[in-house]
Amino acid sequence: MNPNKVIQLAMKTGSLLLESGAETYRVEDTIVRICSTYGMTDTSCFCTQTGIMMSSIFDGTTYSQVARIQSRSTNLDRIGNLNQLSRDACSIELPEYEKRLNDIISTKTYSVFMNILFASICTFGFTLLYRGKLGDAFVGLILGGIVRYCTLYLESKGLNSFFNTSGCAFLITLTALLLENYHLIASRNTVIIGTIMLLVPGLAITNAIRDSIAGDLVSGTARAVEALLIAVAVALGSGIALTIWLSLGGII
């Protein structure tokens, strides 16, 4: 058994979990479980939003590694697969574990079309949920698809997520104001709220609460700040759109 290989695979698994939106306690538990399964002892792991530090002992020698997390997204399917793989490690050899890990990495995520389609369906449903009329819901459906496409495009260009979110919130608010001004929708409020739900940091808030309850106060605070910044970005984008609208003589 190669302890360096175990450390590398454990760290790789933990990094992928964190990049996919997993809670920090899940990442730490997974890394410890993998190392223990393959014969390493006294494994310690400390995980934050932006990095993982770990050390483990094998045959009297301490092995350690640090990983920097550059990007984060939401991929619950990958989290589930990695979680299951770490539990299956007790029944498979290290080469088989590495093969299955690479298979998970190479698995294709949802296409751009599927992202846009289901984002549109979500905004359609949210607009109806907030008592919007059917016409407003169809506008929300179209606007949701446009916003999701813009989000994916700006992410692919490496734009900072704060400005990405602000820009999309600006687009949503200004579009709704224009459509109501030309009597194409019944209520701008339901369209704005229903569509802006795409930008709400629901997973970040949930993970912040779960990490804090689990005792990971650093990660919980970091996730809470991240959620707050996203909320500020949404408010800033909408506020700029409303300010421009009023300065041009529009009525709210």
Q: So what's the pLDDT on residue 111?
A: 86
Does some domain include residue 252? no
Residues 199 and 153 in one domain: yes
What is this structure's pTM? Answer: 0.80
Q: Give CA–CA dist 146/151, Å, rounded.
A: 9
**Is 219 a member of any domain?**
yes
Residue 177 CB contacts under 8 Å (≥ 6 apart), including other chains: 188, 241, 242, 245, 250, 252
Report residues of the chain scoring pLDDT below 70: 1
Same-domain pairing of 137 and 201: yes
Residues 125 and 19 in one domain: no
Is 24 found in the same domain as 147? no
Domain boundary among 74, 106, 138: 106
Give domain status of residue 52, yes or no: yes
Assess whether 93 and 8 both reside in one domain: yes
Tell me if 229 is assigned to some domain.
Answer: yes
For the sheet with 61-68, list strands across it.
Answer: 41-47, 51-58, 61-68
Does residue 83 sit in the same domain as residue 119? no
Q: Do 130 and 190 sit in the same domain of this protein?
A: yes
Give the three-state DSSP class for 186.
coil
58 shares its domain with 173: no
Q: What type of residue is 244?
A: I
Instruction: Say how many CA atoms lie within 13 Å of 242 toward its Cβ.
Output: 11
Same domain for 75 and 120, yes or no, is no
List Cα–Cα distances, 188 to 18, 32, 177, 200, 206, in angstroms: 37, 51, 6, 18, 29
Residue 200 is predicted with a pLDDT of 87
* CA angle (200 as vertex; 71, 219 as ends), nearest 5: 50
Boundary-marking domain end, from 75, 106, 137: 106
Whether 242 is in a domain gets the answer: yes
> Quick check: 45 and 101 in contact, CB under 8 A?
no
User: Do 138 and 202 fall within a single domain?
Assistant: yes
**Residue 165's closest CA among 177, 155, 156?**
155
Out of 106, 125, 153, pick the residue that ends a domain.
106
pLDDT value at residue 78: 92
Q: Enumerate residues 6+ apart whose C-beta is below 8 A from 8.
A: 65
Total tally of structural domains belonging to the chain = 2
Quick check: is 36 in a domain?
A: yes
Among 63, 23, 16, residue whose Cα is nearest residue 43: 63
Q: Are 163 and 176 in contact (CB under 8 A)?
A: no
Within a domain: 124 = yes
Q: Print the domain residue range for 36.
A: 3-106
Would 69 be classed as within a structural domain? yes
Is residue 74 within 8 A of residue 203, CB to CB? The reply is yes
| Whether 81 and 142 share a structural domain | no
Interatomic CA distance for residues 135 and 93, integer angstroms: 57
Residues 90 and 25 in one domain: yes
